[in-house]
Amino acid sequence: MAIDYESLLQRGFSKIPEKAFKSSKYETPKAEVTVIGSKTIINNFKEVASRLNRSPNHVLKFMVRELATSGTLEDARASLNGKFSKEVVDDLIVRYIKAYVLCSSCNKPDTKLVREDRLTFIACEVCGAKNPAKTLI
């Protein structure tokens, strides 16, 4: 009944998902921002949200809360009340990624938001970690 180290090691490696071995450079999506009067329009908002693998409503809720303004989704774009530069919007996207996309254990972006009861967790599809996420009110 002696199990050798090599067979245990191979069995352990077979349980790890392939995504854990792939090393890819994650690129932060950039927003296409247009300021018209006192409104800021993010033209590629749905594309940004899909590249983050998140719901556009969740991303918009975060932005609206952080900017202390109101906003709406219109087709593939988002409209925010107030004048905000491209740099401010891109910085918000980076902050959203750090808070709701990247796994805090392995730092990979292959995660999904999971709701259990009243709590939201960031579940990593690579390492299997499950960490609590801040709730957006």
Rounded CA-CA distance 62/93 in Å is 9
Residue 37 has pLDDT above 70, yes or no: yes
Look at residue 128 and give its three-state secondary structure.
coil
Spatial strand order of the sheet with 111-116 comes to: 111-116, 119-124, 130-132
For residue 54, how many other CB atoms are within 10 A of its CB? 19
In the chain, the N- to C-terminal Cα span, in Å, equals 56
Domain of 136?
Answer: 103-137
Q: In this structure, what DSSP letter does residue 133 have?
A: -
Tens-digit pLDDT profile for residues 54-103? 999 999 999 999 999 999 999 889 999 999 999 999 999 999 999 999 98
Do 61 and 122 fall within a single domain? no
**Which carries the bigger pLDDT value, residue 53 or residue 21?**
53
Do 75 and 37 fall within a single domain? yes
Supply the pLDDT for residue 60.
94
Predicted TM-score (pTM) of the model is: 0.79
Supply the pLDDT for residue 3.
75
Question: For residue 127, is it within any domain?
Answer: yes
Do 116 and 81 fall within a single domain? no
